[in-house]
């Protein structure tokens, strides 16, 4: 998904092309002051995620033009820096320190990461589809503070930003549904039917350890605890299933249930947060979404497992998204937010936690029997499937 920041005043175009790849949040427009003539600036979008194998940072030119905005946006040379024109680096600092420390997990001496550049192809639109990004495959730490430095080799102009890193939401044995694997069955667990422990401390029954949305008098909740330095949390419940086709082939698919973002009032971590939904809503959502992604003639379907995904975002990312969310009033002038020194955009951090859970047999049967989902041809009790 792309965020395009465009300001047009007297045919003066302010170009800022940045993108979001982590949360699937709604794109938006943000009016920014026009750049002063002769002033060099950059547009930056970089979100570090210690869970990812590759980090990507997008950097575009910011400039003035008296020409046609749409024509200018389609010119790759106008919105992209040239090959080798920028030097982009990352340094890591422990909070409160001014001395760089180790930047890459597994490297006992590296204190600076020099990012490499590449050109990617994006979806078509108002801007040229060829975009230059900077990336690294160094494994980042989930603690400390990373500094982004950008230097224009030709002009000597420098830009920078810092972001504190955010760790992943941790498993723990006190609340559903993010439990430690040794006391709660996870998808493809080492035991029979994914059950990795014969008993569940504090619960007493094997049944209570599986996901069971067959009880309509209950209000299911997804609970977790916040982590240090994270302000915004996005919760996704992903139902995995398998389509078996009449031609003997099959497809593994999933349906996502996106919940309202959760905001932590504490940055020290440990705060209990939760989201909830109605059981009937779960079945109706399945009935609405699955037919739209059906391919081929279905013989039957198998409920596979449930996955719980939690994104945790740093405070600066929360502020950026909040300021740039679509206006709900007639007033369109909004405050600007950037944490790029000498530029515009955002340099922030996120983390991702994903945990798969096995399904209780009553829940699987209800998918087959429920009036909302019975036409989807889900089979009843089945043998444990892994992966």
Residues whose CB falls within 8 Å of the CB of residue 52, separated by 6 or more in sequence, listed in order: none
* Per-residue pLDDT reduced to its tens digit, 17-31: 333 343 443 333 333
Q: Looking at the domain that runs over 2-165, which CATH code has it been given?
A: 2.60.40
Q: Is the full-model pTM beyond 0.85?
A: no
Nearest Cα to 47, choosing from 133, 118, 121?
133
Give the rounded percent of residues in the chain with a pLDDT score beyond 70.
73
Evaluate if residue 370 carries a pLDDT over 70: yes
Q: Which region, left, alpha or beta, applies to residue 20 given φ > 0 means left and ψ of -120 to 50 means alpha? A: beta
* Per-residue pLDDT reduced to its tens digit, 171-220: 665 555 555 445 556 677 655 554 444 344 444 445 556 788 999 998 88
* Per-residue pLDDT reduced to its tens digit, 243-291: 999 999 999 999 999 999 999 999 999 898 989 999 999 999 999 999 9
The segment(s) of the chain belonging to CATH 2.60.40 are 2-165
């Amino acid at each position: 998904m792309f965020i395009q920041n465009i300001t047009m005043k007297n045919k003066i175009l302010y170009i800022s092309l940045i993108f979001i790849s982590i949360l699937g949040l709604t794109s938006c427009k943000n009016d920014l002051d026009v750049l002063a003539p002769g002033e060099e600036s950059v547009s930056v979008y970089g979100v570090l995620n210690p869970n990812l194998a590759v980090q990507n940072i997008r950097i575009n030119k910011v400039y003035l033009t008296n020409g046609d905005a749409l024509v200018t946006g389609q010119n790759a040379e106008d919105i992209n820096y040239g090959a080798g024109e920028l030097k982009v680096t990352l340094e890591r600092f422990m909070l409160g320190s001014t001395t760089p420390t180790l930047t890459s997990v597994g490297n006992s001496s590296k204190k600076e990461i020099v990012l490499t550049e590449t050109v990617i192809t994006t979806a078509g639109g108002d801007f040229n589809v060829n975009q230059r990004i900077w990336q690294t495959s160094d494994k980042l730490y989930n603690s400390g503070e990373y500094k982004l430095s950008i230097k224009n080799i030709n002009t000597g102009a420098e830009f920078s930003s810092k972001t504190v890193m955010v760790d992943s939401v941790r498993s723990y044995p006190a609340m559903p549904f993010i439990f430690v694997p040794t006391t709660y069955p996870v998808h493809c667990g080492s035991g029979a039917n994914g059950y990795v422990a014969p008993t569940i401390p504090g619960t007493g029954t094997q049944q209570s350890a599986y996901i069971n949305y067959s009880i309509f008098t209950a209000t299911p909740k997804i609970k977790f605890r916040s982590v240090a330095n994270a302000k915004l949390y996005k919760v996704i419940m992903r139902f995995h299933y398998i389509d078996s086709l009449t031609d003997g082939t099959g497809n593994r698919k999933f349906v996502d249930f996106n919940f309202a973002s959760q905001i932590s009032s504490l940055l020290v971590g440990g705060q209990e947060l939760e989201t909830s939904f109605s059981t009937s809503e779960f079945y109706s959502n399945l009935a609405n979404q699955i037919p739209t992604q059906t391919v081929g003639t279905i013989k039957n379907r198998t409920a596979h497992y449930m996955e719980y995904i939690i994104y945790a975002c740093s405070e600066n990312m929360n502020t950026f998204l909040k300021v740039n969310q679509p206006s709900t009033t007639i007033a369109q002038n909004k405050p600007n937010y950037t944490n790029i020194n000498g530029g515009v955009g955002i340099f922030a951090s996120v983390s991702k936690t994903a945990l798969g859970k096995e399904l209780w047999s009553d829940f699987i049967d209800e998918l087959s029997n429920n009036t909302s989902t019975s036409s989807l041809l889900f089979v009843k009790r089945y043998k444990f499937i892994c992966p």
